[in-house]
Amino acid sequence: MAAFSATKKKLLTTKTQSNYPFLRKSLSLFQSSASPYTRSYSSRSSTTFQEREKVGEDKEEEDVIPTSGLGRPLSEIIKELNKKVPDSLVRQRVEDGFTARYVPWHLVNRIMNLHAPEWSGEVRNITYSPDGKSVSVVYRVTLYGTDAELHRESTGTASVDGMGFGDPVQKAEAMAFRRACARFGLALHLYHEETSE
């Protein structure tokens, strides 16, 4: 059921309504029980097919995740990424007596999806220190604009014997990802706040 996109479902439903009336009932199998589509497509139905289509379109609009738009110039994408991140998304961590403010990687990922939906990321290298006590990850983030594509890389390092949630490679990757995004301006103001204190 989930594999059927709303657009395909709409096209199939419209096509089936006019060309294949015997398939009308089977189409209802692709609808959820909470959906207004659960009624039979028989001629005895009190609402018309067009009315059901309209209700379905309204429901689809509620499920859409807003983005700043696909296919924009890089300058617009970078301008959006350089905006200050709301304080509600910023977390604090205390290490060795120092307080560091940061945005968790999963929120950075969501911000990237919102403002730069055509971005990609990849781990470029994983290196363990000679003594085996730390691991470093190089991560690359690429933005795709209508006029060009641009990538930034950064590193993250984590202690192998460190405490906390996640394995060292995950921690180093998350750090490298956040830093690579910061090279585009995302949450960069947090780094400036640290140096000015």
Same domain, 113 and 171: yes
Percent of the chain's residues with pLDDT above 70:
61
Residue 39 lies in a domain: yes
Same domain, 54 and 91: no
Same domain, 33 and 107: no
Q: What is the mean pLDDT of residues 112-122?
A: 94
Statement: residue 193 has pLDDT above 90: no
Same domain, 42 and 95: no
Residue 69 lies in a domain: no
Q: Identity (one letter) of the amino acid at 171?
A: K
Structure tokens at 97: 């007596």
Same domain, 22 and 95: no
Same domain, 101 and 36: no
Same domain, 118 and 168: yes
Residue 159 lies in a domain: yes
Same domain, 86 and 123: yes
**Spatial contact of 107 and 190, defined as CB atoms under 8 Å apart:** no
Residue 68 lies in a domain: no
Domain count along the chain: 2
Residue 1 lies in a domain: no
The whole domain housing 17 covers 6-63
177 Cβ contact list (under 8 Å, min separation 6) = 105, 108, 109, 121, 139, 141, 156
For residue 18, the model assigns a pLDDT of: 41
**Spatial contact of 147 and 170, defined as CB atoms under 8 Å apart:** no
The per-residue pLDDT of the chain, averaged, comes to 75
Same domain, 13 and 84: no
Same domain, 18 and 107: no
For residue 93, the model assigns a pLDDT of: 87
For residue 26, the model assigns a pLDDT of: 36
For residue 68, the model assigns a pLDDT of: 54
